[in-house]
Amino acid sequence: MATQLNGLMECSECGTTYLRIPKQVATDSPVFCTTCGNYIGRWYDVESSFMSQGGSSGIFELHDGHIFKR
């Protein structure tokens, strides 16, 4: 299993994995980096990337927009 995130889960500008996810999130909601404000992508794409990398059953955990390694 992967030990590092790739793709949409990491900000291309600052490299963090701290996401600003709207409270009333929908599949087409925009997601931004909390650290630098860079646009990450639409919620559907970000969630799909997270789930394909193990999601909540893998070694990563999504909590309040921050992705942690378990």
> What is the span of the domain harbouring residue 27?
7-69
Output the pTM of the full model: 0.71
How many structural domains compose the chain?
A: 1
Three-state SS across the chain? CCCCCCHHHCCCCCCCCEEECCCCCCCCCEEEECCCCCEEEEHHHHHHHHHHCCHHHCCEEEECCEEEEC
Within-domain flag for 1: no
Within-domain flag for 39: yes
Within-domain flag for 2: no
Within-domain flag for 31: yes
Within-domain flag for 20: yes
pLDDT given for residue 52 in this prediction: 76
Reported as a single tens digit per residue, the pLDDT across 21-69 is 888 889 999 999 989 999 999 989 888 877 777 766 666 667 666 666 6
